Amino acid sequence: MVRKEIEKLLNIALEKLNIDEKASVSFSSFPELCDYQSNSVFALAKKTGQNPFDLAGKIIDNIEETEFFTFEVARPAFINIKLTQKGYNHFAKLLSLDERCGVSKLKSQKVLLDYGGANVAKALHVGHLRSPIIGEALKRLYKFLGEEVISDVHLGDWGLQMGLTELQLYEDGKLDFYFSGKGKEPELTLEMLNEAYPKASARKNTDEEFKKMADEWTLKIQNKEKPYFEIYQKIREVSVKEIKKHYSELGAEFDLWLGESDADEYINKALDIIESKGLSRISEGAVVVDVAVEGENIPIPKKSEEEVQRYKNPMPPAILKKYNGGALYATTDIATILMRNTQIDRLNRIEYIVDARQKNHFVQVFRVCKMAEISPSDQQLIHIGYGTMNGSDGKPFKTRSGDTIKLEDIINMLIDKAGEKLKSNGVEYDRKLALQIGVAAMKFGDLSNNVGKDYVFDLDKFLSFEGKTGPYLQYTVCRINSILNKVSQDGGEINIASEEEKKIIKNILKLNSSYEIAYKEKSLNSLCLATFDLASAFSTFYNNHKILTEKDMHKKASFISLLKLVKKALTQALNVLAIEVPEKM
């Protein structure tokens, strides 16, 4: 808002000087000196063959009269800009009046976001935590900035885990009814699944025969054979119920609850397209597509010698059908893109919020779709790969015994720890409140890092009520609410008088521009940081001003309006981050 306003003034001055170029303005890197700055003069001077310092002076001389800013040249040729008192009041008023608190819409593209990615029959684990957190926030950000967004959970429900789980249940005598028709139909429970899959998964690594059988069972399910497919549907139902519960606890909402299996009828269609374009070939009985690009080498991670060898080779071919005709992970992803582009009109982008370690998978899938024109050339396919959540030892977060940690255990841990924290603060335990705080702690701890980077899961730090944390932000809004609840009068005209108040306005303006940064970076860290900065500017103001006991009625009314404005800006940002604010804490 303000930046654009200043740029307009500078550009009018440039026009007057017959310079057919545009100037840009940024927040000041020296807040003690000025609020905004323009570094454009250097380039402009070069282009027009003028002395930079002189040109800066000329620009300033040609700026239209304004009550809202002062302009000053600083050597060698910066233009420093300050908001005047009138400027602060003017923009504070505009921010207060605007429903979106001054954040304008950017785009109107149509986007499909693929996040969540829970697997049917397997318990959700720590590796599935970041996707719903980041995906939900990106979805809200895109929507907020004016895009049409469709979210799809894309369940992993068409892979080997189904055959493994079913076969294990069968061997454990749990599926007799379906095969012999005798006895009573058993109730397939979550506990049964949670036991069967890990057992089968471990077994497949040592028991070649079992693995082969599981492959066959998987194929029977994929071919919708009786009773394999019916049992699978039951397993899916039990799993999905549990998955929905966890996503709802994490505040992730999906428009589409589709899975790999829903793209099944598109698998053959996709394979036909690929084959008709001469892209596939048979290798050892499997259908593969070569996707490597000439001269390509994948960066070599420091791993075992064997791994290093593998990575030295170019991008391996995408395998679309196994020796036995079964579909693979890449196949279902390609078929899903075909399904989406068939069923949904003109998607500008499809974005996947999936572990960065799946990079090669997406490179393969995207290349096949582009080569086969399953994805139109003007459609962007983007993998937003997130880094790993590590333990304090810097390695992927595990249980003490070294096992992968279940998502359910993490959620319980968040609730327990947040509950303890509340108790130590003298607040009565309430599960809903503990969940709200625990999840906020987790989300902010996650989102305040750049998406692609690994970070350390440090729950004690995340849960602190002070510092850059989710609970601190929740607490700040609660505190504002409690003050507003205590005042009987409405706000009035805002008069920005003190340095602390100026800082609040500046931080709202910064927060507003961080939406665009987050949008460009596809990472929410800048938005998190700016939200925290505003909360902390508010705290400083609050500590230095008596609001409730202020005698000057005009001043008090201005404070109240300012509080409402801060609340609006913070709530808006937290809403985008999908962090809930409790009523009190």
Q: What is the rounded distance in angstroms from the CA atom of residue 327 to the CA atom of residue 369?
A: 16
90 vs 340 by CB, closer to ligand ARG = 340
**What is the pairing mode between strands 318-321 and 286-289?**
antiparallel
Q: What is the rounded distance in angstroms from the CA atom of residue 281 to the CA atom of residue 289?
A: 6
Least separation in angstroms between CB 298 and ligand ARG? 19
384 vs 508 by CB, closer to ligand ARG = 384
Q: What is the rounded distance in angstroms from the CA atom of residue 117 to the CA atom of residue 246?
A: 13
Q: Does residue 31 have a cis peptide bond before it, meaning omega lies within 30 degrees of 0?
A: no
Least separation in angstroms between CB 68 and ligand ARG? 49
Residue with tokens 């059908």: 321
Residue 73 β-bridge partners: 79
Structure tokens at 121: 């029959």
Least separation in angstroms between CB 572 and ligand ARG? 29
117 vs 438 by CB, closer to ligand ARG = 117
Identify the CA nearest to 39 among candidates 55, 17, 20, 18.
55
Identify the CA nearest to 299 among candidates 310, 291, 286.
310
Least separation in angstroms between CB 368 and ligand ARG? 14
Phi/psi of residue 114, nearest 5 degrees? -105, 105
Q: What is the rounded distance in angstroms from the CA atom of residue 241 to the CA atom of residue 103?
A: 38
Identify the CA nearest to 508 among candidates 426, 420, 443, 571.
571
Least separation in angstroms between CB 407 and ligand ARG? 11
Least separation in angstroms between CB 181 and ligand ARG? 34
332 vs 531 by CB, closer to ligand ARG = 332
Residue with tokens 């804490």: 585
CA distances from 13 to 60, 67, 208, 322 (A): 8, 16, 77, 67
328 vs 354 by CB, closer to ligand ARG = 354
Q: What is the rounded distance in angstroms from the CA atom of residue 237 to the CA atom of residue 248?
A: 16
In our burial notation (b when 16+ CB lie closer than 10 A, e otherwise), range 286-315 reads bbbbbbbeeeeebeeeeeeeeeeeeeeeeb
13 vs 354 by CB, closer to ligand ARG = 354
Identify the CA nearest to 495 among candidates 145, 222, 92.
92
215 vs 260 by CB, closer to ligand ARG = 260
Least separation in angstroms between CB 154 and ligand ARG? 5
Least separation in angstroms between CB 567 and ligand ARG? 37
Identify the CA nearest to 155 among candidates 260, 234, 262, 263.
260
Phi/psi of residue 352, nearest 5 degrees? -115, 120
Least separation in angstroms between CB 352 and ligand ARG? 5
130 vs 479 by CB, closer to ligand ARG = 130
231 vs 354 by CB, closer to ligand ARG = 354
Q: Return residues touching ligand ARG (CB under 6 A).
A: 114, 117, 119, 154, 156, 333, 352, 354
9 vs 365 by CB, closer to ligand ARG = 365
Least separation in angstroms between CB 333 and ligand ARG? 5
CA distances from 411 to 125, 208, 245, 260, 474 (A): 11, 36, 11, 26, 19
